[in-house]
Structure 1
Amino acid sequence: MKKRTLRSSLLVSVALLPGVAYAQTTVVGGQQAVTLQELDVVATTPTPTLRNAQGVLLGQDRDKLPQNTSVLTSADVNRVGTPSVLRALDERIGSISINNAQGNPFQPTITYRGFEASPLGGSPQGVAVYVNGNRFNTSFGDTVQWDLIPDIAVDRIELEGSNPAYGLNALGGALSVQLKNGFTYQGTELNLSGGSFGRFGGSFQHGQRSDNVGLYVAGTALSENGWRQHSPSRLRQFYGDLGVQAEKGEFHLNFMGAINSLTGNGTLPVDLLDFKRNEVFTYPDKTLNAFGRIGLSGTYDITPTVTIQGNAYYGRFEQNTANGDAAEVERCEANERFLCSEGANEEQFFLRDRLNRRVQASSVRTANFARLPAFAERFDEGGPYAFLNSTRTNTENFGVSVQTNVRETLFGLPNRFVLGGSYDGGRTAFTADNAVGGLTFDRGFFGPGIVVRSDDNSITPVSVKSSNDYGGIYLQNNTDLTDRLTLTLQGRFNMAKIVLEDQLGTALNGNHYFQRFNPGVGATYKLVPDLLTVYGGYVEANRAPTPAELSCADPLAPCSLTNFFVGDPPLKQVISRTVEAGFRGKLPSPIELGVLSWKAGVFRARNEDDITFVPSDITIGRAYFQNVGSTRRQGVEASLAITTPVWNAFIDYAFVDATFQSPLTLASGGNPFATPNPAQPDNSEANQIFVRRGDKLPGVAPHQVKVGVQYNVTPEWRVGVLGRVATGKFLVGDESNLNKTTGNYAVIGFNTSYRVNENIELYGYVENALNAKYATFGTFSPVGEVPILALPNASSNRSLAPGAPIAAYGGMRIFW
């Protein structure tokens, strides 16, 4: 019994090595049996790594890839007991940084090498994300909704640098998530957990195989109150897969769905943050996500050396948001039936019908008496007001991809050739409106409020339909020129067609077409076979402007930060050119001594015609998308890991230097170091900052170190520690780098687990054990326009997204 447990612990430990590819794992009763000699095979295209009928893995030997790769397994996702993809990425990949601008643990922006993969529509999406081989970036804004991925069902995660085969958005890299099925997981697990901030959750998974049929189902339900005020979240996720193996192939039908309610209340002004860290500035900020996707995939051997793979999917995504903000408006002097935004032309917003009468009448029906007088009085006296920005996004998405793998010699040399094509389509209906109501004493929206519109319908309300059709043809060829030297040639032709149809007028109408061929070339050389390999490569990638960006590109008709879309000037597509080089290796030793692995590399990516969300100088709280010239991201990545039979450890380091390469003049009304705009000297929102070549991009941590150790005290009892150190990031709105950063920080956590018997495991973990006070994101908030009763002298516009304080969680895993 003890010998078997020790062997299982070792195999799991080996799977935790950073960057070690995970090829095939069968899980029975919570125990993973890993085929060690196959750990270094990974996918290099959107279609995931699979076996053909002869048992040959269709991916590529990782040692022959001309770019850095990292692979996380289900053991990484479950490292502390409660499965989490986001935690695994944040803790295990040195060049990944978390920007929690929303203030919700399930809605972070992930930056990889300074490129973003975010659920927020105002973020420039620079990472292509795939789940089960299907594109996961949403159709309307290319956003990545991390809360929709069923954590417990994740089999492996493969992350690599820019690769043209992954199509649009792979500017900085590509992330591929492969979910489990009945052939890779057998058994049943129930995971129950709970802890700080009212969190309670449970998840289950069950996999079984009967001859050539495999079945897998998994689900999660989680609720928490959140550590900040007014910030509860509810997650409901489900995944199921039915697989069939045939003589020459394997086929799967699966379904993924989620219904989630997420509340994140954003950044907090530093004065209020010092006073009470769990406060919120304005609220609510709620997101409701409903998602369902059905997928069909298959692998078929045409000959023993030629295999065809295919994927098809159809899904729907519905998102409703409600965002409460202070309304920096006042009654227009010329006509009190209108509200004017500060610094804007009068008659900017029109209150429908009779303002006071409708406000007070509707309030009586819904509000309690204690809150009613303040609400009505503020309208009578001219404020303060609050906005409730509401959006509704209904998207239908579908796609298909086909890929052929040929493993035959070329001029007598070992060769692997891949030819594939994909199509991804989306049809979206987007609507948004703006209601004005009262601002409560704790800075919340008090309604129900009255829907407002701009006097010429140029800003709000909004109703638009969009269709996007993305197609691509790609190829990749790997030739072993010698037993040490491998040459890789890549290329993909991307096509994107985007059509916008305004449902309220014609301002948003547009028809856009983009196309580009992206090449790639690289090589690897084994300096010391099986011990040390060097690599280098050059690739190009592109992304087309999204329907959301194209609908919000007019500086004269800016949109809300909560995604109101107006105007339709053309935007150019973003083109990225990346070079990277490095080395990697491992030192296998007798099993009693363990295995040492390492990797180190450098990269440089330059974007042309980069797109960013630029603040408006005519309307407070709104912005628009704009091509801002060139940006550059360069840096160093290094990792060292050791695994022994009783303990394992790793350390990852990343340096990311992300800079503007073109001078810019931007509006930045909240920046205390901004200078008045000569054209609008009396409009503080038109204040300008001047970005110079070499200024740092906001939201990117230059240095990060991540460390982890796990130790088996006994075969049944394991303890571990995880730590992260990061330097500060410049604030969004401070692109000229004149203000303080978010600040450096170090966070440490502890975890432990005890295997009671073959069927029960208890676990616990503590996050931010030293209760560090830190921030992951920063911007500016209009403190002067929003009364903070507890801090009447608050004056700093600097606003940060605070990290969570110390928290403890525990749970139990039951296997049978």
Structure 2
Amino acid sequence: MTLRVLRGSLIASVALLPGQVMGQQAVTLDEISVVSNTPVASPRRVVTAPTASGNRELTVLDGIERNKVPRNTDVLTSADVNRVGFPSVLRSLDERIGSISINNAQGNPFQPTITYRGFEASPLGGSPQGVAVYVNGARFNTSFGDTVQWDLIPDIAVDRIELEGSNPAFGLNALGGSLAVSLKNGFTYQGSEINVLGGSFGRGAVAFQHGQRVDNIGLYVAGNVLGERGWRKHSPSRLNQIYADLGVLAEKGEFHFNVIGASNSLTGNGTAPVELLQAKYNDVFTYPDQTKNDFLRFQLSGTYDITPTITVQGNAYYGLFRQRTANGDAADVENCEADERFLCSEGADDQQFFLRDRTGNRVLSSNVRTADFGAVNPIFADRFDEGGPFAFLNQTRTRTNNFGATVQTTVRETLFGLPNRFVLGGSYDGGRTRFSADNSIGGLTLDRGFSPPGTVVSSDDGIITPVSVRSSNDYGGIYFSNVTDLTDRLTLTLQGRFNMAHIVLKDQIGTALNGDHYYQRFNPGVGAAYKIIPDYLSAYGGYSEANRAPTPAELSCADPLAPCSLTNFFVGDPPLKQVKARTVEAGVRGRIPEPDSVFGGILSYKAGFFSTRNADDILFVPALDTIGRAYFRNVGSTKRQGVEASLYYNAPNWSAFIDYAYVDATFQTPVELAAPGNPANSAGGDESGTVLVRPGNRLPGVAPHQVKVGVQYQVTPEWRIGALARFATGKFLVGDPSNQNKTTGDYAVFGFNTSYRVSENIEIYGYVENAFNRRYATFGTFSPVDEVPIIAVPNASNNRSLAPGAPVAAFGGLRILFAPPPPAPVVEPLVRKG
């Protein structure tokens, strides 16, 4: 088998980023032409190959040529992650891939929801997870809710990101697609770097990396410390990340042991009513909303050539994940009508239920500290003449041990005389979780924060109650992938995977949460790619299926009569159906031939269509008559379809790109849903109102149109400048599935960056985000402004609530690299036996 490594484009793009070259000694060829196509990451193999100047070690990818993959793929390298000077995976995904949209519902830059083709990969437990995420070939979706904690990925250590459409080989959650992150090691990165950043919002950061090779041993270590006070009130965050890899290069294989660790504190205080944003753009509605993540994962991985044509790859991991959340919200409680000394919560039809403390005693109103809003503004006096206002502090604690292993065999031999690549693999991912949660009652401060000390409470109707549950999840899969070159131009791909999921819940207080659930499904895939003009124009098309099982979190919160709070308290356990997705996609990709290159550069292009239909889709929907609580349910069929197109131009001194995506995400089944606070609901905006969702209504939170444009120009060999713009249309608000209210609004955001290489190993850089200080929103919902006093806007009546984008911000930094200049790149085809 011949692994062709195409010439030129990556080396030319790296030349535009001199800072990226200084720390690299391993020769990197055009990796963009190869993708993994299976969960186990394609290794960047260090091999010895004959060249015109003699034998030389080269770093290459052992995967599938990209033009043979029957679906759309996007590949980002470390140069993309470091584009503006300081590394960021989230920024590179948002800026560089047209069909990715950011929903910053939390209002924190390090914990956004990423939407790809209308499917979510989110750190929030209430989000339906539709993207499978892998780091170093191991599953990264958390065990309890399939969430993706982006803050745990060490940005500076990222070597490569592969994003592709739905592929059954990637297992559970790959409904919309999969995202695979590969981290560096001592064979792929050699040198040292220190990167120091400072700028707006009190942000300061230091990142470092060091990689070296001694004979057949490779060592890599990287870390990042970042802190900021945040641009909004009460919104500080801090990141502490570390990563290390020890690799051994053997005659027939390569083996690695690595560890990822993080200890992060993130504060994101969510949406704010539009009238409050108009008065004080940096204000928050209620607070605190803090998440603390602690993470440690050990992993062994390896690749071994049994014969020149048969390779075994595998990995095994063990991880610890600890998460604590504290969320302050206004409490829908008041002095009890039956006895005004005590506090009561309200249920349906204004029925009241006593609040009780841990000992079972009724909670005295006099024991809860409240603010005197009437003394500040008399308009509030009549509204709270029965006591209050009060606040809840919702606290959760999640402790998970996760572990797993994947083994796959790759056979590169002819089939009926035709070149063929066959992969057979199996995986297991397990998790053991202890989840607990409680509500503390306290007062609401003048700036709408929780006033301690709090008393942990429960309500007589059981809606508010402490929770403690243990869960175990065991996910297994057997998959195959067969790629056959039927001709020099036509490639046929057959894939399939059998998924199994076993989920057990054990209530630690009573029996309400007990449950035992088992799901299984076989997902097929078939596709073809045809090189219309080899190396310059190819077409692809395919069909695939995928599924996701309900998570322990969803199964524990699926009862409309016992809904959960937005921080996922679990109080019921009826069954949910698994989600099944069927995807069709087709497109073309290629580049203008060198003899016809434009202005001395190369123009690459791609365009494609996709359509995914979900059966038994699961959404987190509001509950009737209960503000701030919701539950998971199957809502029938939904559909996400659209087009993706991009142009990329690369010349010796400059490069540019434009990405466009249209995503039409709609309901396909009529369904009646509660819509508390929605002015268009059946009760005129009351919490008891519902809306009728019709086929064709758009899914909230998905931007239909997005355009991303970027350019980089090398002014001198030392000085580089760049610009990037993002345009997006508005999204319907969460809580408005019938699309009867205004969207979040269209917006355009511009950014600029520059860097200057002071010397061979020193570079200074700077960048500006939202350069024209545009006010915009990436997410929206409804907030109970009639329940929460806003001193700045005492007559607030508009309950539209938006997650505001950050204002103009400027950052600057210094990169110092300690490494000799890299060897001259060798750009020659590499022929591998078999």
The TM-score with structure 1 as length reference comes to: 0.93
Partner Cα separation in structure 2 for residue 328 and residue 26 of structure 1: 55
Q: For residues 103 and 347 of structure 1, do their structure 2 counterparts lie closer, same or farther at Cα, with a shift above 3 Å needed? A: same
Does residue 1:134 correspond to 2:141, yes or no? no
Structure 1 distance, partners of 2:28, 2:243, is 26
- Equivalent residues in 2 for 1:391-406 (5 A)? 391-406=396-411
* Cross-structure match for 1:653: 660
Letter of the 1:427 counterpart = R
| Alignment-derived partner of residue 484 in structure 1 | 489
| Kept in 2: contact 1:510–1:568 (CA 8 A) | yes
Does 1:29 find its partner at 2:18?
Answer: no
The Cα of 1:194 is off from its aligned counterpart by 0.5
Q: CA RMSD in A?
A: 2.4
- SS in structure 1 at match of 2:732: coil
Which residue matches 1:571? Answer: 576
Q: Is the 8 A contact 2:683 2:690 kept in 1?
A: yes
Contact 1:356 1:380 in 2 (8 A): no
| Aligned residue number for residue 424 of structure 1 | 429
SS at match of 2:292: strand
Q: Is the 8 A contact 1:46 1:134 kept in 2?
A: yes
Per the alignment, residue 682 of structure 2 pairs with 675
3-state secondary structure, aligned to 2:190: strand
Name the CA distance, whole Å, in 2 between partners of 1:340 and 1:648.
60
Q: Describe the superposition over 1:49-81 as per-residue Cα deviations: whole angstroms up to 9, x where unpaired.
A: 115676674310100000000000000000001
Does structure 1 retain, via aligned residues, the 8 Å contact 2:154–2:241? yes
Instruction: Tell me, in whole angstroms, the C-alpha distance in 2 between the residues paired with 1:623 and 1:78.
Output: 40
1:82 and 2:86 aligned:
yes
Q: Which amino acid aligns with 1:107?
A: Q
Q: Offset of 1:499 from its aligned partner?
A: 0.1
Q: Tell me the secondary structure at the aligned position of residue 686 of structure 1.
A: coil
Say if 2:343 and 2:364, in contact at 8 Å, map to a contact too: no
CA shift for structure 1 position 11: 2.1
Identity over aligned pairs, percent = 73
> 1:329 deviation in Å?
1.6
1:114, 1:37 → 2: CA distance?
Answer: 30
In the TM superposition, residue 686 of structure 1 has moved relative to its aligned partner by: 1.4
Distance in 1 (CA, whole Å) between partners of 2:593 and 2:258 is 39
SS in 1 for 2:11: helix
Per-residue Cα deviation, 1:503-528 (whole angstroms, up to 9, x for no partner): 11000000000000000000001111
**CA distance, structure 1, for counterparts of residue 480 and residue 34 of structure 2:** 19
Distance 1:186 1:466, change over 3 A: same
* Deviation string, structure 1 residues 545-589 (Cα, Å, up to 9, x no partner): 000000000000000001111100000000000000000001242
Instruction: Give the counterpart of 1:716 among 715, 718, 722.
Output: 718
Q: Tell me by how many angstroms 1:182 deviates.
A: 0.2
SS state at 1:116 partner = strand
Residue 236 of structure 1 pairs with residue 247 of structure 2: no
Q: 1:117 aligns with which of 121, 144, 159?
A: 121
CA distance in 2, matches of 1:133, 1:295: 10
| Distance (Å, rounded) in 2 between the aligned partners of 1:53 and 1:13 | 22
The superposition leaves residues 659-715 of structure 1 with CA deviations (integer Å, 9 ceiling, x where unpaired) of 0000111111200111139xxxxx931101111100000000000000000000001
1:632 aligns with 2:639: yes
| Structure-2 separation of matches of 1:378 and 1:476 | 65
SS in 1 for 2:433: strand
Q: Which residue of 2 is the match for residue 21 of structure 1?
A: none
Partner of 1:49: 42
Q: Is the 8 A contact 1:255 1:293 kept in 2?
A: yes
- The reply on whether 1:688 has 2:690 as its aligned counterpart is yes
Distance 2:197 2:732 in 1: 36
The alpha carbon displacement at 1:158 in A equals 0.2
Match of 1:701 in 2: 703
Q: Show the counterpart of 1:606.
A: 613
After TM superposition, give the deviation of residue 339 of structure 1 in Å: 1.1
Instruction: Give the corresponding residue for 1:729.
Output: 731
Q: d(CA) in 2 for partners of 1:348 and 1:500?
A: 29
Contact 1:775 1:801 in 2 (8 A): yes
Return structure 1 stretches of 4+ with deviation > 6 angstroms: 7-10, 25-28, 377-380
Change (3 A) 1:808 1:618: same
Contact 2:196–2:815 (CA under 8 A) maintained in structure 1? yes
Q: How many pairs were matched up?
A: 788
SS at match of 1:90: helix
2:87 and 2:346 mapped to 1: Cα distance? Answer: 46
1:505 paired residue among 510, 533, 539? 510
What is the alpha-carbon distance in structure 2 between the residues aligned to residue 746 and residue 790 of structure 1?
Answer: 29
Partner of 1:742: 744
Alpha-carbon distance in structure 2 between the residues aligned to 1:104 and 1:28: 32
Shift of residue 381, structure 1, vs aligned partner:
4.7
| Partner amino acid, structure 2, of 1:350 | R
Task: Name the counterpart of 2:831.
Answer: none
Q: Would the alpha carbon gap of residues 39 and 71 (structure 1) be closer, same or farther in structure 2, given more than 3 Å must change?
A: closer
| Equivalent-residue separation in structure 1 for 2:346 and 2:101 (angstroms) | 36
Which residue in the other structure is 1:762 paired with?
Answer: 764
Provide the C-alpha distance between the structure 2 equivalents of 1:809 and 1:664, rounded to a whole number of angstroms: 48
SS at match of 2:502: strand
1:104 aligns with 2:108: yes
Amino acid paired to 2:540: Y
Kindly indicate whether the alpha-carbon contact (under 8 Å) linking 2:393 and 2:441 is maintained by their aligned counterparts in 1: yes
Partner of 2:794: 792
- 1:595 matched to 2:599? The reply is no
1:291/1:315 contact within 8 Å kept: yes
Compared with structure 1, are the counterparts of its residues 12 and 134 closer, same or farther at alpha carbon in structure 2 (3 Å cutoff)?
farther
- 1:559 aligned onto 2:552: no
Instruction: Give the Cα–Cα distance (whole angstroms) in 2 for the partners of residues 256 and 378 of structure 1.
Output: 52
Structure with bigger RCO (C-alpha 8 Å, 6+ apart): 2
Q: Is the 8 A contact 1:616 1:623 kept in 2?
A: yes
Change (3 A) 1:660 1:756: same
Equivalent position of 2:590 in the other structure: 585
Partner of 1:408: 413
Matched to 1:396, the amino acid is N
Q: Structure 1 508/16 Cα, relative in aligned 2: closer, same or farther at 3 Å?
A: farther
Inter-CA distance 713–16: structure 2 relative to 1 (3 Å threshold):
closer
Secondary structure of 1:197's aligned partner: helix
**1:20 paired residue number:** none
**TM-fit CA distance, 1:34:** 5.3
Amino acid at match of 2:85: G
The Cα shift of 1:345 comes to: 3.6
Deviations 1:741-788 (A, max 9, x none): 000000000000000111100000000001011000000000000011
Relative distance call for 1:90 and 1:34 in structure 2 (3 A) is farther
Change in Cα spacing, 1:33 to 1:640, as seen in structure 2 (3 Å) is farther
Letter in 1 for 2:615: E
Q: Secondary structure of 1:75's match? A: helix
Quick check: 1:162 aligned with 2:166?
yes
Q: Distance in 2 between matches of 1:538 and 1:14?
A: 35
Give the structure 2 partner of residue 196 of structure 1: 200
Task: Indicate conservation of the 8 Å contact 2:335/2:343, yes or no.
Answer: yes
Q: Secondary structure at the match of 2:87?
A: coil
Find the counterpart in structure 1 of residue 498 from structure 2: 493
1:282-431 alignment runs, 5 A limit: 282-336=286-340, 337-341=342-346, 343=348, 345-347=351-353, 349-351=355-357, 352-353=360-361, 355-356=363-364, 359=367, 381-431=386-436
Give 1:622's aligned amino acid: R
1:623 aligned to 2:623? Answer: no
Distance 1:790 1:537 in 2: 56
- Partners of 1:628 and 1:650 in 2: CA distance: 39
Which secondary structure state, in structure 2, belongs to the residue aligned with residue 785 of structure 1?
coil
Q: Pick from 638, 649, 660 the counterpart of residue 642 of structure 1.
A: 649
Provide structure 2 residue ranges, at least 5 long, that are not aligned to the other structure: 1-6, 49-59, 377-381, 819-834
SS of match in other structure, 1:138 = coil
Write the deviation string for residues 89-130 of structure 1: whole angstroms up to 9, x where unpaired.
Answer: 000000000000000000100000000000000000000000
Query: TM-score if structure 2 supplies the norm length?
Result: 0.91
Q: Secondary structure at the match of 2:316?
A: strand
Show the counterpart of 1:680.
Answer: none
User: What residue is the counterpart of 2:826 in the other structure?
Assistant: none
Q: What does residue 11 of structure 1 align with?
A: 11
